[in-house]
């Protein structure tokens, strides 16, 4: 028979049970409330902490756009390489664990102790040593790698204080552009040593397959892939593209677990930039310029070839030069594009401005005659000389014979205001607007501030500084019939992935400078310069050539330097229907004074460039202008392997000494 408990005791038991149920109910309510709080109000915070503990946001680099020539031959491309990085939260070796690694996310305070700091340094030094041995880094690079890894590990130490949590995990790029062979060797060594936390990611290496060819125009990129010179710099916003990213997880060795990729934003590759340059013409220009540079040893040399009707740059070269694949191996001066940066007094090539302006204003006609003072003329108390003394010369022959005195008299007739107006109209003293960085504007004073001599010196190319590109564009005005066409070197920009053109440049006629008939008259005179004037050595067999020589004494601090000259020739071919304008310029060539003229130094280089360019462009020569074939007797003698009979020698003639460049106001 069961014992019946008294009612008070039974009531007490029920109260205890109720209390227990009440306590558990309250606990459940608190836990449930906390879960609701975590799920609803603090969900994103804890989700971020969880992802941060196990996942990583990995950047996806965009492929930089290519640079191509007008025929789409590659000038700048990308080669696949590896990028070496480190996830310092997982960095460790088989011997040393990551000092701050944990399997759970907590809020409790943790203090950085000496053992952890020592472990961080030990890991960093071991990993840096393995990397340095595999990639053949020097002692300095090894030390920098170890210091960067140590700082990365210590930066990930948990902060102290309530609810501090963990800092964002540091991500370090240790080495860019690691070749595949080196990457495979290093990966095997890391696996062998049990290293975790070192990451290999796809990367690209900017490469210039033509080495030094067109280097000043193309430019180069730095270690971060940012354009620093040339087209690489000016077209950076088109070339760079937009990097993407992906959210991923890695195992304890730093290997990506592709099946756990959570989010991916693909990269947008950069656009391709197509230039107006023909790389084969560029090779011709650079080969001839290099030969002359080595032979003449000038301080600098430059050449520009352009289409006078479209303004397209066909070739542009400077010396000294550099290899964009290794820009650090060259001096800063060698990286300068002298065609757009280097300013010089142009000398007599500038006389086309004076003559064209005087003709266009009706001050003179091509056949009008001016007295050129037999080579010596005093103006405003200063003597002006001609290197080729003449008496009466027509306006045409002032160009043919390159008379300084004749040009000065034409400038005086034109007047200061109008001469200044034509100087501006031909493009001097202003930027051409070409798509290249740091272009020089050129220099000449406003006509209101000219001194008494300026009106006699500017017409012959003194008291003004210009670039080779400006002079080529000005010669283009005469070649194309009187219009100033803005030079350009970018033909189009195209999406690399779709082929859609996002930018197309076209012919830009800024203004009409002179009437077409006036341009034709000056063009005829410039053809005479080559046929019988100062540029006989610019002749090209089979073609009519027009152009102008220039020889200007160099100035420094307002004083002209004895024995230092700028020699140039600017011309076009064929004379009546030009396919190209080309200027060749040498600054301070190491030759004797009597050999320093533009007709002796620059004109022959132009002729060689033009002859080879004509062949490349498949230009048909005029049969009447070709040299006569060799005589049959000579041919038969060569076939027999014997020398042809020599002609009777002429009596020796006395050589008339040639006057050296005598003064600062003398130019060819």
CATH of the domain at 560: 3.40.710.10
Average pLDDT of span 471-500: 96
Contact status, residue 428 vs residue 472, Cβ threshold 8 Å: no
pLDDT bin (cut points 50, 70, 90) of residue 8 is low
Q: Taking 90 as the threshold, does the pLDDT of residue 184 lie above it?
A: no
Q: What's the whole-number average pLDDT of the chain?
A: 84
Q: Taking 80 as the threshold, does the pLDDT of residue 162 lie above it?
A: no
Contact status, residue 400 vs residue 532, Cβ threshold 8 Å: yes
Q: Taking 50 as the threshold, does the pLDDT of residue 168 lie above it?
A: no
Q: Taking 80 as the threshold, does the pLDDT of residue 159 lie above it?
A: no
Burial class (CB in 10 A: 0-12, 13-18, 19+), 520: middle
Based on the fold, state whether residues 289 and 212 are members of the same structural domain: no
pLDDT bin (cut points 50, 70, 90) of residue 473 is very high
Which of 229, 257, 272 corresponds to the end of one domain?
272
CA distance 296 to 290: 10
Comparing 509 with 223, the larger pLDDT belongs to 509
And the tokens for 278? 């023909």
Q: Taking 50 as the threshold, does the pLDDT of residue 591 lie above it?
A: yes
Based on the fold, state whether residues 411 and 469 are members of the same structural domain: yes
Nearest CA to 308 out of 599, 602, 537, 571 is that of 571
CATH number at residue 128: 3.90.1310.10
pLDDT value of residue 126: 85
pLDDT value of residue 176: 81
pLDDT value of residue 195: 84
> If you count them, how many residues does the chain have?
668
pLDDT bin (cut points 50, 70, 90) of residue 453 is very high
* Residue 31 in domain: no
Minimum mean pLDDT range among 302-306, 513-517, 594-598: 594-598
Based on the fold, state whether residues 219 and 301 are members of the same structural domain: no
Range of the domain at 195: 59-101+114-157+168-272
Sequence-ordered list of residues with C-beta below 8 angstroms from that of 100, at least 6 positions apart, any chain: 89, 110, 116, 153, 156, 157, 158
- Cα four-point dihedral sign 315, 313, 432, 400: positive
The SS3 call for residue 31 is helix
User: pTM for this one?
Assistant: 0.79
Q: Taking 70 as the threshold, does the pLDDT of residue 96 lie above it?
A: no
pLDDT value of residue 663: 39
Average pLDDT of span 517-541: 96
Q: How far is CA 245 from CA 152, 239, 261, 265, in A?
A: 21, 19, 11, 5
Minimum mean pLDDT range among 252-256, 288-292, 294-298, 558-562: 252-256
pLDDT value of residue 213: 97
Average pLDDT of span 122-149: 85
pLDDT value of residue 45: 66
Average pLDDT of span 531-544: 95
Q: Tell me how crowded residue 612 is: count the other CB atoms within 10 A of its CB.
A: 18
pLDDT bin (cut points 50, 70, 90) of residue 467 is very high
Q: Taking 70 as the threshold, does the pLDDT of residue 211 lie above it?
A: yes
* Residue 442 in domain: yes
* Residue 44 in domain: no
Based on the fold, state whether residues 195 and 319 are members of the same structural domain: no
Based on the fold, state whether residues 574 and 475 are members of the same structural domain: yes
Give residue-wise pLDDT tens across range 332-347.
Answer: 999 999 999 999 999 9
Q: Taking 50 as the threshold, does the pLDDT of residue 161 lie above it?
A: no
Average pLDDT of span 263-287: 92
pLDDT bin (cut points 50, 70, 90) of residue 130 is confident
Sequence-ordered list of residues with C-beta below 8 angstroms from that of 282, at least 6 positions apart, any chain: 69, 213, 214, 314, 315, 316, 317
Give residue-wise pLDDT tens across range 36-94.
Answer: 766 766 666 666 555 555 556 667 778 899 999 999 999 999 988 888 888 887 777 76
pLDDT value of residue 425: 97
pLDDT bin (cut points 50, 70, 90) of residue 661 is very low
- Cα four-point dihedral sign 392, 397, 403, 404: positive
pLDDT value of residue 142: 86
Output DSSP code: residue 458.
G
Minimum mean pLDDT range among 158-162, 176-180, 247-251, 633-637: 158-162
Q: Count how many domains the chain has.
A: 2
CA distance 248 to 393: 83
* Residue 589 in domain: yes
State residue 175 phi and psi, 5-degree precision: -155, 130
Based on the fold, state whether residues 260 and 384 are members of the same structural domain: no
Based on the fold, state whether residues 548 and 578 are members of the same structural domain: yes
Based on the fold, state whether residues 528 and 384 are members of the same structural domain: yes
* Residue 532 in domain: yes
* Residue 542 in domain: yes
pLDDT bin (cut points 50, 70, 90) of residue 266 is confident
Based on the fold, state whether residues 221 and 285 are members of the same structural domain: no
Average pLDDT of span 608-625: 96
* Residue 11 in domain: no
Based on the fold, state whether residues 399 and 492 are members of the same structural domain: yes
Q: Taking 90 as the threshold, does the pLDDT of residue 321 lie above it?
A: yes
pLDDT value of residue 404: 96
Minimum mean pLDDT range among 131-135, 280-284, 358-362, 637-641: 637-641
pLDDT bin (cut points 50, 70, 90) of residue 389 is very high
Minimum mean pLDDT range among 196-200, 307-311, 419-423, 527-531: 196-200
Q: Taking 90 as the threshold, does the pLDDT of residue 173 lie above it?
A: no
Q: Taking 90 as the threshold, does the pLDDT of residue 13 lie above it?
A: no
pLDDT bin (cut points 50, 70, 90) of residue 226 is very high
Based on the fold, state whether residues 204 and 314 are members of the same structural domain: no
Q: Taking 60 as the threshold, does the pLDDT of residue 447 lie above it?
A: yes
Percent of the chain at pLDDT above 90?
A: 54
pLDDT value of residue 42: 67
Q: Taking 50 as the threshold, does the pLDDT of residue 653 lie above it?
A: no
Based on the fold, state whether residues 621 and 583 are members of the same structural domain: yes
Nearest CA to 338 out of 386, 270, 289 is that of 289
* Residue 45 in domain: no
pLDDT value of residue 652: 37
């Amino acid at each position: 028979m069961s014992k019946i408990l008294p009612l008070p005791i039974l009531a007490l038991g029920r109260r205890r049970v109720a209390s227990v149920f009440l306590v558990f109910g309250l606990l459940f309510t608190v836990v449930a409330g906390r879960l609701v709080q975590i799920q609803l109000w603090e969900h994103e915070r804890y989700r971020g902490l969880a992802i941060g503990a196990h996942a990583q946001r990995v950047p996806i680099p965009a492929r930089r756009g290519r640079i191509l020539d007008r025929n789409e031959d590659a000038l700048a491309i990308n080669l696949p390489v590896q990028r070496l990085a480190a996830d310092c939260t997982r960095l460790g070796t088989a011997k040393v664990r990551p000092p701050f690694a944990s399997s759970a996310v907590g809020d409790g305070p943790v203090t950085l102790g000496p053992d952890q700091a020592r472990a961080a340094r030990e890991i960093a030094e071991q990993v840096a040593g393995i990397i340095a041995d595999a990639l053949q880094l020097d002692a300095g690079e090894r030390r920098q790698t170890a210091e960067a890894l140590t700082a990365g590990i210590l930066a990930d130490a948990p902060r102290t204080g309530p609810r501090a949590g963990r800092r964002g995990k540091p991500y370090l790029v240790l080495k860019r552009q690691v070749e595949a062979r080196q990457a495979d060797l290093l990966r095997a060594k890391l696996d062998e040593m049990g290293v975790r936390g070192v990451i290999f990611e796809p990367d690209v290496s900017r490469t210039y397959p033509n080495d030094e060819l067109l280097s000043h125009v193309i430019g180069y990129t730095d270690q971060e892939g940012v354009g620093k010179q040339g087209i690489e710099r000016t077209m950076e916003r088109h070339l760079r593209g937009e990097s993407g990213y992906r959210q991923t997880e890695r195992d304890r060795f730093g290997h990506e677990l592709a099946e756990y990729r959570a989010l991916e934003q693909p990269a947008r590759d950069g656009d391709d930039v197509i230039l107006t340059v023909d790389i084969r013409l560029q090779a011709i220009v650079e080969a001839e310029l290099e030969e002359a540079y080595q032979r003449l040893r000038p301080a600098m040399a430059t050449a520009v070839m352009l289409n006078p009707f479209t303004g397209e740059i066909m070739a542009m070269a400077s010396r000294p030069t550099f290899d964009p694949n290794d820009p650090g191996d060259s001096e800063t001066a060698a990286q300068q594009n002298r065609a757009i940066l280097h300013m010089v007094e142009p000398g007599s090539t500038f006389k086309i401005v004076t003559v064209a302006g005087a003709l266009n204003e009706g001050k003179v006609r091509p056949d009008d005659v001016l007295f050129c003072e037999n080579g010596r003329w005093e103006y405003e108390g200063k003597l002006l000389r001609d290197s080729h003394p003449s008496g009466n010369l027509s306006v045409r022959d002032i160009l043919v014979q390159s008379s300084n005195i004749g040009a000065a008299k034409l400038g005086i007739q034109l007047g200061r205001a109008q001469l200044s107006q034509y100087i501006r109209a031909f493009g001097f003293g202003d930027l051409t607007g070409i798509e290249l960085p740091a272009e020089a504007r050129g220099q000449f004073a406003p006509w209101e501030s000219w001194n008494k001599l300026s009106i006699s010196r500017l017409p012959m190319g003194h008291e003004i500084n210009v670039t080779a590109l400006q002079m080529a564009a000005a010669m283009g005005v005469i070649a194309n019939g009187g219009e100033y066409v803005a030079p350009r070197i970018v033909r189009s920009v195209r999406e690399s992935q779709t082929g859609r053109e996002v930018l197309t440049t076209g012919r830009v006629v800024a203004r009409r400078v002179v009437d077409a008939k006036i341009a034709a008259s000056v063009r005829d005179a410039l053809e005479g310069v080559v046929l019988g004037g100062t540029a006989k050595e610019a002749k090209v067999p089979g073609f009519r050539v027009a152009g102008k020589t220039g020889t200007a004494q160099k100035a420094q601090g307002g004083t002209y330097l004895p024995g230092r000259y700028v020699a140039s020739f600017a011309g076009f071919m064929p004379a009546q229907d030009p396919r190209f304008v080309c200027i060749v310029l040498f600054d301070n060539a190491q030759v004797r004074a009597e050999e320093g003229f533009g007709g002796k130094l620059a004109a022959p280089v132009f002729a060689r460039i033009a002859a080879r360019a004509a062949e490349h462009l498949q230009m048909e020569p005029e049969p009447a202008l070709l040299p006569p074939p060799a005589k049959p007797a000579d041919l038969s003698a060569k076939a027999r392997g014997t020398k042809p009979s020599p002609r009777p020698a002429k009596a020796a003639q006395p050589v008339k000494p040639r006057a050296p460049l005598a003064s600062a106001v003398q130019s060819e």
